[in-house]
Amino acid sequence: MTDENDKRPGDGEPSEIRSVSITDEMRRSYLDYAMSVIVSRALPDARDGLKPVHRRIIYSMYENGHTPEKKYVKSANIVGAVMGQYHPHGDQAIYFALVRMAQFFSMRLMLVDGQGNFGSVDGDMPAAMRYTESRMSKAAVALIDDIDKDTVDFQDNYDGTRQEPTVLPAQFPNLLVNGAGGIAVGMATNIPPHNLGEVVDACLAYIENPGITIDELTEIIPGPDFPTGAQIIGRSGIRAAYQTGRGSIIMRATAAVEEIRRDREAIVVTELPYQVNKATLQENIAELVRDKRLEGISDVRDESDRKGMRLVIELKRDAVGDVVLNQLYRFTQLQTNFGCNMVALNGGKPEVLNLKDFITAFVDFREEVISRRTKFLLNKARDRAHILCGLATAVANIDEVIRIIRTSPDPNVAREALMGRDWPTGDIAPLILLVDDPKHPMNPDGTYRLSEAQARAILDLRLARLTALGRDEIGEELQKLADQIRDYLDILRSRARIMGIVRSELEAIKAAHATPRLTQILDSDADFEDEDLIQREDMVVTVSHAGYVKRVPLSTYRAQRRGGKGRAGMQTREEDFVTRLFVANTHTPVLFFSSKGRVYKEKVWRLPLATPQGRGKALINLLPIEGDERITSIMPLPEDENSWSTLHIMFATSSGSVRRNDLSDFVQVNRAGKIAMKLEEGEQICDVSICTESDDIVLTTAEGQCIRFPVGEVRVFKGRDSMGVRGIRLEEGDTIISMAVIRHMEITPEERATYFRMRRAVLGEAESGEAENGEEEAAGPVEISTERYAELSAAEQFILTVSENGYGKRTSAFEYRITGRGGKGIVAMAVNERNGPLVSSWPVEPSDQIMLVTDGGQLIRCPVEGIRVVSRGSQGVIVFNTAEGERVVSVERISDDGEEDEPATE
């Protein structure tokens, strides 16, 4: 026998199990969930700019009387009421929503007036809800005002026990003023805050001209106005957001470089971009400094107080404030983007709205609110006027009314009797026609019957109202209501009057709550390169033997005549001395070649700025070179890297090898450097120069030999790790001291001898010092034309050669005959005990000036034209009167800057 409890659904009884497609069920459930999140949680309504949680908080505070004129109440009280009556979610979600509405750095116009710790821009958490107190702000009252006048629809709360508004009446466009952010399912919103006064002006402009364009609205609302102030860089992102609803707005902190002490500067940040955490920013900067991604910063401290924000970033002595600030903008949240994604619920559906859509939605909503409010007030006035018409009728027929009441056994009978007869209207007939209920119309004979509400009011009439004063009060109130009803009817019949009311209420809101703009909008481009902030200025770059480098403005040095004693150019230690000096613009890129054949790249302005007596900074602290690696050659390059493709770079090593590469091979040199040339043991790069196919190379040795050959004799190497080819055959113990690039010129020995004689005649010189020797002296004279002489004169270059003991000479490049690559060469300058070994040899112009530096740090600047032009084998003249025990280690050419020479210092 089977027990009834063992019966299965298939045993004759109807089953509750249905077959459902899991695909359809998942699709339906997901869509239901997604729409629930979109509509009921994450997206704001375009009309009042609020999400459901914010709307419920404000409505609950209004309903419980937590208005601005009342005392503060515990936030926990408010959260509990909202959670229990309207928002059945976690208390923390409600509290954090309340907290945000009370944060001055989150809301452009705060909707909650908070008392206590509501968090900070440092990311500090607010105090627990049991410790803070809140109430509505005056702006929140403007959002909910008139909600009791049937201006908006209501719906059941989550358990059906109460009614809550679907939207607040909102007297100002809160969505634009305070912005919104949220992530829904499959969509998100991020709307920036704006200035109330500007938004109201835009709404007024739209009311005046509904056909106004977005560009015209943008002239009224130039851009967002963030509660933290700061700056907006550029207007393209704003235009895109306002036109399409999507755009990226560049926000930048308000910062300035200030002098905090006599020799120290600091970057002081007073305003941060919207939603940037100050404490996290400070930690970020410190971390970037530790990782050496940011240079020039010595300290970061927060000096903010009740008076305002002040984040101080102290700089090192040699740091350029504007450059460091630009790097901070690039690497930290001192500059960040606000990604506008202006999605809101419009008509209950999520839409991407442009600026005009937001304003249109709000103005249309306010028009509806004013219409509904007017209808509500009209009906309320009619209800009251209806009662007053009955009372006026009773007062006019008081004797009959009293008789009916006295003869009636009870109030119900009296009420029926009053309602059952026709009463004359008398003087109030026009008012009855205006205000009476259509369900109780007047009869054709001018009489009408009282309604139940009127009869009850007559029965409740106090005897004091029957006096003359009471009768007048009824008449005056009725007349006043009649005027109001006429006005309400006129409003409802005229859209112009409704829009006039919208306009006047917006103007009142602006007068009560508008504040000046906080965020400054700049038209300049945000993407500055660091060097864009550096003034173009000629710098003298000095490098010491120990690897210290510095730059000093060229204007610091004044010219002296040949033979002067110079001035201190660099403070060096006993074991250190200056080995390299050149002049370049602050924007000039410089290649640094190391003893291991690597190359590094920096701009001149990145080198440490110092005084003429300053030591500078070690290259090992500027470049990522290894401990046993040192910089052996430094080469300034053309500023325009696009021109590098037509140029070549020639390497010369100490052992006499040369190699040619395309200069474009060195455009991209990362921070870690790259291989420049493969070197043999003990070999190093002694010089690097830029050249073209129309140039010749002159290699000069310390022992006074030189060789000249065309650039074309050295093929272009495609790799950077090759060793090159022989340039000159050196004697034992000799080494290359310089490589000069000069213009190629075809000239025979005979032409050269004739040219020198003709030039002496033109110049009227008795002795030029260009006495030819060897092959040149043996050459017979030839005739050359005037045109050929002019051509040779224009092409002639003079090579300056300087020795360690300060002697130098200029020699025509025509004397440096081409002998072919790989030979022993010819004499460049006499090397003896008087002169000492050679230091440098390169072409100069008569208008040039040169700067010579000794290993003791002494420096002289003198014009080239004061140095005699003599033959190759001459010993030269004294250029630098060096101190005993010192030797010249570096010579640099300086273009004429127009300064007057000073007398030599003895």
Query: Residues 263, 578, 556, 531: what is their CA dihedral angle, to the nearest 10 degrees?
Result: -70
Residues 6 or more apart from 388 whose CB is under 8 A from it?
474, 477, 478, 481
Known catalytic residue at 131: yes
Copy the structure tokens of residue 263: 């020799």
Residue 492, judged by CB atoms within 10 A of its CB (0-12, 13-18, 19+), counts as middle
For residues 495 and 219, give the distance between their C-alpha atoms in angstroms, rounded to a whole number: 27
d(CA 830, CA 835): 8
Overall residue count recorded for the chain in this entry: 906
Please give the DSSP secondary-structure letter assigned to residue 12: S
CA–CA distances in Å: residue 488 to residues 371, 442, 481: 9, 22, 10
Contacts of residue 261, Cβ cutoff 8 Å, sequence gap at least 6: none
- Of 30, 33, 131, 158, which residue is the catalytic one? 131
Least Cα distance to 142 among 170, 168, 166 occurs for: 170
- Chain-centre distance for alpha carbon 223: 15
Q: Are 383 and 440 in contact (CB under 8 A)?
A: no
What is the per-residue burial (b if ≥16 Cβ within 10 Å, else e) of 170-192? bbbbbbbbbbbbbebeebebbbb
| Among candidate residues 641, 715, 653, the one with its CA nearest the CA of residue 678 | 653
Question: Reduced to 3 states, what is the DSSP secondary structure of residue 466?
Answer: helix
Q: Where are the alpha helices (DSSP H) in 700-785?
A: 749-763, 775-778
Residue 172 belongs to what H/E stretch? Answer: none
Residue 410: Cβ within 10 Å count = 7
Q: Using CA atoms, how far apart are residues 268 and 278, in angstroms rounded to an integer?
A: 13
CA 574 to chain centre: 49
- The letter for the amino acid at 732 is E
**Whole-Å CA distances, 818 to 690, 709, 710, 830:** 20, 5, 8, 20
- For residues 490 and 507, give the distance between their C-alpha atoms in angstroms, rounded to a whole number: 22
**C-alpha–C-alpha distance, residues 390 and 215, integer Å:** 58
Rounded distance, CA 600 to CA 668, Å?
10
Strands (E), 813-868: 826-827, 838-844, 849-854, 858-863
CA-CA-CA-CA torsion sign (73, 78, 81, 85): positive
Question: Which residue from 271, 376, 381 is spatially nearest to 333, judged by alpha carbons?
Answer: 271
**Pairing outcome for strands 447-448 and 520-522:** unpaired
**3-state DSSP call for residue 295?**
coil
Taking the CA atoms of 450, 452, 457 and 461 in sequence, report the sign of the dihedral they define. positive
Q: How far apart are CA 38 and CA 122, in angstroms?
A: 31
Percent composition of the chain: helix, strand, coil (DSSP 3-state, to 5)? 35, 25, 40
State which H helix or E strand residue 441 sits in: none
3-state secondary structure 786-815: HHHHHHHHHHCCEEEEEECCCEEEEEEHHH
Name the token pair of 820: 């072919």
Give me the numbers of helices (H) and strands (E) for the chain, helices first please: 22, 43
Residue 867: other Cβ atoms inside 10 A:
24
Alpha helices per DSSP H over 17-149: 22-37, 52-63, 75-85, 91-101, 138-144
Active centre residues (catalytic):
131
